[in-house]
Chain A
Amino acid sequence: MSERHDAADRVRLERLLPAPAEDVFAAWTDPDSMSRWLSPTGRAVVTADVRVGAGFRVLMIGEDTEIEHTGEYLAIDPPRHPLVHVAVHIHGASPQRGQRDPAPRR
């Protein structure tokens, strides 16, 4: 869970999205939907296990690089909670360089 990590190595973002709750929920839990916005290249392979404690994996595919991100579902409560609480862990190097880095990093 995110509590065991100190703030020095975390980035927290919040965004108010003017859209129906179900759409936002699907955007974070339906692989088809996820593949359409999660990758900056527009190409991605996404798998998702929609349960608390499980998560998703997105492989962002570029010209000559592939960067994997995994996310963990911390809370799932449709339809009351329109937002799935997600913590994203990064495997792979910085988003600008796209080199492979075998060590997982949070």
Chain B
Amino acid sequence: MVEQLDTTYAALAHPIRREILETLTEGPGRVTDLAKPFEVSLAAVSKHIRVLEEAHLVNRRTRGREHLLSIDVRPLSDARSWLDSYRAFWEGRLDALDRHLENGG
């Protein structure tokens, strides 16, 4: 679980990858179509897609010569839950800080 979180965050740490994921939330897409909006080469975009696949954030299906990608939200929701629980933890710390200061610091 811990290693997957690191992989998920590393995969999200690039604007092109985030934009690809954003597009895929609307539905599956072909690699060639997903690459179109970007100024970098198809090869470069393919590398980003490979990172997303290795992070299990996208799945690839081949349909003849077409490669169709779809998003897998499970790693994202795991990451989200982890972040949420971390946020809750630090909100608790700030509550404790509030009480500490109330008691004269």
Interface set of A (CB-CB < 8 Å, partner B): 5-6, 8-9, 11, 13, 15, 17-19, 23-24, 26-27, 33, 36-38, 40, 88, 90, 93-96, 101, 103, 105
Contacts and interface: CB of A to CB of B under 8 A. Distances in A.
Contacts of B6: 103, 105
Interface in B52-98: 79, 82-83, 85-87, 89-94, 96-98
Interface residues of B, number: 29
Q: SS class of chain A's interface: helix, strand, loop or mixed?
A: loop
Given A8-B12, A8-B18, 16 more contacts: A6-B12, A9-B12, A9-B83, A11-B87, A15-B94, A17-B97, A18-B101, A19-B102, A23-B105, A24-B101, A27-B97, A27-B101, A37-B97, A95-B85, A101-B2, A103-B2
Nearest to B102: A19
Interface of B: 2, 5-6, 9, 12-14, 18, 79, 82-83, 85-87, 89-94, 96-102, 104-105
Given A27-B101, A103-B6, A37 B93 contact: yes
